[in-house]
Structure 1
Amino acid sequence: MKQRLITGIIAGAVFLGLCFMGGLWYHLLVLAMSLIGFYEFARMTKIAPFGGTAAIGYLGVLMFVFPWNLLDITFPFSWEHVIWLVMLLFLFVTVFSKNKTPIGQVSLLFLASIYIGMGFMYIAESRSTPDGHGLFWTFLLLASIWASDAGAYFVGRKLGRTKLWPAISPNKTVEGAVGGVVIAVLTAMIFALLSNGLLPYGNALLIGIACAVIGQLGDLVQSAYKRVYGIKDSGSLLPGHGGILDRCDSWIVVFPFVHILSLLPY
């Protein structure tokens, strides 16, 4: 418990401090987190994390998360083109290896490059939105996700009776999930109240629901594939907390979701 607390304080201070500063250093931190996340995914799916095939996945993640705009570099491709090119490179591997690298393996790595790359891309970009309020939007989403986690945990412990999805995560309950939604919505509403009109209450309601529902589903997604591979944590980078994917499983689905649905009013 002591190790978990110390790790949480140090990691939280570094992340939130750089997030508050913003700019290139924060973006580089998110980039490093994304590459570590891809390493964890490759490793836990029994794929050589530093092999030639995995290198294509790192390249895909790098193209998504690299701070092109902050360095005034014009990115030569659209994101649709990046996805297609990464897919093509992975498919070429199956040919050049004469099927020693099977389609199932490259499919997993391709999935990971999109799942992790786009997730962390939106985490980084949320801090540098064109309206200049990126810090507010980032803290809004993080606080709502954390509130959902805390609400689900404490309400589940106190009132939880009905198992939510025991085959995937035996400790989660329906009552806890509902509690997480309520607390996340209340948190988003507080941000709206303090925003001086920047965040309409209608958007806050939708953001709170999205952070809770999509965030909890993101947690279940990772619980599902960790159960398939028989592991408890995606990595050991953060003692007592697991790996980057363990800590960011909700983030990398919530941030893209709210941007794609244009829930942030900027």
Structure 2
Amino acid sequence: MKQRIITGLIAGSLFAALCIIGSVPYQLLLLAMACIGYFEYARMHHDKRFDTSTIIGYIAVFGLVIPWSHWGISWPISVESIMWLAMFALLCMTVLTKNKVPIQTVALLWIGAFYIGIGFKYMMLTRTGMGADGLFWTLMLFSSIWASDIGAYFIGRAIGKHKLWPAISPNKTIEGAVGGVIASVLSAVIFALVRPDVLSMVTAVGIGLAAAGAGQMGDLIQSAFKRVRGVKDSGALFPGHGGILDRVDSWIIVFPLVHILGLLAT
């Protein structure tokens, strides 16, 4: 537990500092995290971590996450084009390797590139693409996600009796999930009280509900991946905490969703 707390404080402080600084340091951090996250994902689903098929996935992730316009680079290829080209290249690998890299593998690698790349793309967009309020929206979303995690953990330990989804994550309870929703909504409401000119109370409640619901589902999705592959953690980058994907499983679901739902003011 001591190691877990120390690792969490160091990693959390560094992440928060770079998030506040923003600009290139934060962008490079997100790019590095996306790359490591895809490495962990590929390791779970593919025997070879740096073969041609996996490299295609890395290229797709970079193409999605890099903030081209903020770096002054004209990039005419859309998200749909990047993912179609990645799909085509991966499907070609099944032919070129005479099915030594089977369709099941390339499908999983493609899903991973999309899953991780889009998640980090919207994290990048929230901080760098929303003007002067980018930091506000970023901190609000992270606070809601973390409040959900904390609320679910402590309420679940205190009064949790009914299992939420024991086949996937045996320790999660319905009471904990409800506690997470309440904590997430309260966190978002606090941000609305601080900046009512940017965030209305109704929107704050909507974001809190989305962050808790989608965040908890993101956690279960990652648990399902690991259960299928028979691993406890996606990696060992953070002692006591696992890998990158263990830390960002909620983030890469919540950030795209709130944008898709139109809950963030542009």
Q: Is 2:136 aligned against 1:136?
A: yes
Q: Is 2:244 aligned against 1:251?
A: no
Partner of 2:219: 219
Residue identity (%)? 56
Q: Is 2:162 aligned against 1:162?
A: yes
* Equivalences, count: 266
Residue 98 of structure 1: CA displacement? 0.7
Check the 8 A contact 2:189/2:205 in 1, yes or no.
yes
Partner of 1:40: 40
Residue 2 of structure 1: CA displacement? 1.9
Alpha-carbon separation, structure 1, partners of 2:129 and 2:202: 20
* Letter matched to residue 228 of structure 1: V
Q: Is 2:72 aligned against 1:79?
A: no
Map 1:91-130 → 2, pairs under 5 A:
91-130=91-130
SS of residue in 2 equivalent to 1:127 = helix
Alpha-carbon separation, structure 1, partners of 2:117 and 2:165: 28
Alpha-carbon separation, structure 2, partners of 1:243 and 1:70: 29
Check the 8 A contact 2:46/2:105 in 1, yes or no.
no
Residue 57 of structure 1: CA displacement? 0.2
* Letter matched to residue 58 of structure 2: Y
Partner of 1:194: 194
User: How far does the alpha carbon of each residue in 1:121-158 deviate from its partner, in whole angstroms, 9 at most, with x for none?
Assistant: 11111111333211000000000000000111111111
Higher mean Cα deviation, 124-133 or 190-199? 124-133
* Letter matched to residue 110 of structure 1: W
Residue 46 of structure 1: CA displacement? 3.6
* Letter matched to residue 70 of structure 1: H
Alpha-carbon separation, structure 1, partners of 2:196 and 2:212: 24
Partner of 1:2: 2
* Letter matched to residue 164 of structure 2: L
The gaps in structure 2 that reach 5 residues or longer are none
Residue 206 of structure 1: CA displacement? 0.5
Alpha-carbon separation, structure 1, partners of 2:179 and 2:3: 28
The gaps in structure 1 that reach 5 residues or longer are none
Alpha-carbon separation, structure 2, partners of 1:45 and 1:96: 20
Alpha-carbon separation, structure 2, partners of 1:169 and 1:177: 12
Residue 265 of structure 1: CA displacement? 1.8
Map 1:16-55 → 2, pairs under 5 A:
16-55=16-55
TM-score under structure 2 normalisation?
A: 0.98
Map 1:235-250 → 2, pairs under 5 A:
235-250=235-250
* Letter matched to residue 36 of structure 1: I
Alpha-carbon separation, structure 2, partners of 1:167 and 1:76: 44
TM-score under structure 1 normalisation?
A: 0.98
Residue 36 of structure 1: CA displacement? 0.2
Alpha-carbon separation, structure 2, partners of 1:9 and 1:156: 23
